[in-house]
A = this chain, B = another copy of it.
Amino acid sequence: MSKYRKDPISGRWVIIAENRALRPNDFVDNQVRRDIARTCPFCEGNERFTPGEVFAIRKSESSENSPGWQVRVVPNSYPALSREQSLESVHKGIYEERDGFGVHEVIVESPQHVMSTTQLTDQQVQCVFDAYRMRLNDLKSDSRLGYALVFKNARPEAGASIEHAHSQLIATPETPLAIQEEIRGGSDFFERHRTCAWCKIIVDELEAQVRLVHQSTSFIAFCPFAARVPFETWVLPRRHGSHFEQIEPGLLPELADFMKQTLLRMEAVLDGPAYNYWIHTAPFDTPLLDHYHWHIEIIPRLTKIAGFEWGAGCYLNPVLPEEAAKSLRIDKRV
């Protein structure tokens, strides 16, 4: 049983999920790691180690929860949230607490014990992004859910506890604070400039070139002007769209290839860093928004977030985004 709790001053919600402390960790010591191939819950043939799959891209002759899949989506064994909890809210004096209603799933990116998305074939990466899209479209049909965040923790410094390449998804009744703030910012920008902020940024970054990392017909990657951490990189569709799950399926191969190229550049320049990425998309119940533009944010975990960032809410970044982009532009993959 997890709980949402609201801070009475900031209004900030946190999720208290005690069961998460119990989850196993591949990275504790080398001894444990040697046994991973036999016991990894995400390897093909080990399907019994996870809860039953909620979605898979698999051979038509194969059956659920058995080998034959390319991407497999399963409930997290140590979920932060669950649909078996209620939507009830309890007030205790000035404090407010809600049951941890929601969804927490794992997207297993490969049947093989591969450790990085960049080691997947292009077709495999495409299946991963297709799985994200399919899961969002499915979860959207549950009217109790308002939002789903797709995210990835790669390597232990970025919060991963299992090394087999995977992403996660957490769906909640309410739209998370970071998205609410971004939508509010996008709306204010639209009011002032009569255009989508991200569309405007795309035009400006393509013109300025200095923070551009690379581009394809439909996508662009650049280091944002006010990057919070060294080598922070954003991937955006060039054409306006507010909902990731409404992407034309025909664009998925290009997006998958583009993301893989972006991560390959990062791995080459930064020597295989820990990183996180997440998809920012509009809430389920909104129509196509003129003032919001879905995108992917990637942050390599090179520096520590320290007391000033925590206490001030202001990031201190020692690398100029223009310098980061310059390094990432040099294609070292050959």
Contact flag A317-B15 (CB < 8 Å), given A9-B197, A189-B9: yes
B313 touches A157 (CB 8 A): no
A311 touches B280 (CB 8 A): yes
Residues of B within 8 Å of A179, CB to CB, are 312-313
Contact of A306 among B12, B153, B176, B280 (CB under 8 A): B153
Query: Chain B interface: which of A49-57, A118-126, A222-230, A249-257?
Result: A222-230
Q: Confirm or deny: A14 has a beta carbon within 8 angstroms of a beta carbon on chain B.
A: yes
Copies of this chain, tallied across the complex: 2
Contact flag A320-B18 (CB < 8 Å), given A185-B9, A308-B149: yes
A16 touches B320 (CB 8 A): yes
Residues of B within 8 Å of A279, CB to CB, are 311
A15 touches B181 (CB 8 A): no
Q: Confirm or deny: A24 has a beta carbon within 8 angstroms of a beta carbon on chain B.
A: no
B168 touches A307 (CB 8 A): yes
Complexed CA–CA distance, A318 and B227 (Å): 29
Complexed CA–CA distance, A219 and B12 (Å): 25
Q: A198 to chain B: closest CB distance in Å? A: 8
Residues of B within 8 Å of A193, CB to CB, are 94
Contact of A297 among B198, B304, B311 (CB under 8 A): B311
A-B contact pairs, 16 of them (CB 8 A): A6-B226, A8-B189, A9-B182, A10-B182, A13-B314, A14-B315, A15-B315, A15-B317, A16-B227, A16-B320, A16-B321, A158-B304, A159-B307, A178-B310, A276-B307, A305-B305
Kindly list 18 other residue pairs between chains A and B, CB separation below 8 angstroms, not including A9-B197, A16-B321, A305-B305.
Answer: A5-B226, A6-B226, A10-B181, A10-B185, A16-B318, A18-B319, A20-B318, A21-B230, A94-B189, A94-B193, A94-B204, A151-B307, A151-B308, A158-B307, A168-B307, A176-B313, A177-B314, A179-B313
Please give the residue numbers on chain A whose beta carbons come within 8 Å of chain B beta carbons, in ascending order. Answer: 5-21, 80, 93-95, 149, 151-153, 156-160, 168, 170, 172, 176-179, 181-182, 185-186, 189, 193, 197-198, 200-201, 204, 224-228, 230, 276-280, 297, 299, 303-308, 310-321, 323
